[in-house]
Structure 1
Amino acid sequence: MAVDDNRLVRRGLHPLHGILLAGTIPLFLGGLAGDLAYSSSYQIEWSNFASWLLAGGLVFGGLALLWAIIDLVRADRRGGALLLYMLLLLATWILGFVNSLIHAKDAWASMPMGLVLSVIVLLLALASTWIGFARFGVGGGR
């Protein structure tokens, strides 16, 4: 008796796409940690660290967003989950960019809005990474 295996084989995230996506988490988390350290110590260098970590998170997030847009254009039927994933990445990048503009101000002027935006950006990055890995996985079929 022959076994017919008609399971749907889903393409996962490319490993480089996974690295770019996962790289946003420690960078945005470090930015939040820098903001928290600045808000408790008022040492300007913590705000500078947060600014640089946000810039790194935007680079990684922007490349992951570009990859997600290309995947969305090339997608055949995965439009719903892929669209949600791309929109979360887009929201993360836009709010991260606004957060970088807030951090470009004087360190004292960037608080409390910079801290609030850092929390929101980190939560969006966590959500997009969760959806990216849970829904699509990494590598070949599952």
Structure 2
Amino acid sequence: MNVPVAPGRSAVANAVYSVLNPIPFGFFVAGLVFDIIYARSGTILWAKGAAWLVAMGLVFAIIPRLVNLTQVWITSRRTSTHADHVDFWLNFVAIVAAILNAFVHSRDAYAIIPGGVWLSALTVLLIAIGQVIIAVRFPARREYRHV
């Protein structure tokens, strides 16, 4: 079985990052959907659900971001590419937007509209752009190691 491995990076760290990285994105997308439904319906259940989804997305974003921080800036500085750095900063700004979004969602009723929707959309857009950058960059420099 051939497994792509970035040079100079830990296989365990890559596995942990690969497993946990999509989870926050799913929570943030669901939060955006809930925000849009709340903006259109006015049912408070959707706003509370969006607040929980944003909070859970932030909780699950901690470990992959720490792994990414270590791999990009500390352990494999020489082998990380410009795309890795751009992805790191896009995810960093997205998490800051999600933190602000969590504060916006702590408000009552319609006070979260439109700020909650815009911050949710910004968070999802930034993470998606980072994933596209990594996806476009990664196949060009793929290295295989026989396991």
TM-score, structure 1 normalization: 0.81
- 1:96 is aligned to 98
Moved more, 115-124 or 21-30: 21-30
TM-score, structure 2 normalization: 0.79
1:108 Cα deviation after fit: 1.2
> Could you say what secondary structure the match of 2:28 adopts?
helix
Question: How many angstroms apart in 2 are the aligned matches of 1:45 and 1:117?
Answer: 19
Question: How many angstroms apart in 2 are the aligned matches of 1:123 and 1:10?
Answer: 26
Q: Which amino acid aligns with 1:10?
A: A
Q: How many residues align?
A: 132
Structure 1 residue runs of 4 or more that deviate by more than 4 Å after TM superposition: none
- 2:111 is aligned to 109
Q: 1:136 to 1:58 in 2, by over 3 A?
A: farther
Asked if the contact 1:85/1:128 (under 8 Å) is kept, the reply is yes
Asked if the contact 1:22/1:129 (under 8 Å) is kept, the reply is no
Question: How many angstroms apart in 2 are the aligned matches of 1:84 and 1:97?
Answer: 20
Percentage of identical aligned residues: 27
> Could you say what secondary structure the match of 2:107 adopts?
coil
Matches within 5 A, 1:123-142: 123-136=125-138, 141-142=143-144
Question: How many angstroms apart in 1 are the aligned matches of 2:35 and 2:66?
Answer: 28
* Higher fraction of strand: 2
Q: Which amino acid aligns with 1:64?
A: P
Q: 1:127 to 1:19 in 2, by over 3 A?
A: farther
Quote the RMSD (CA, aligned, Å): 2.2
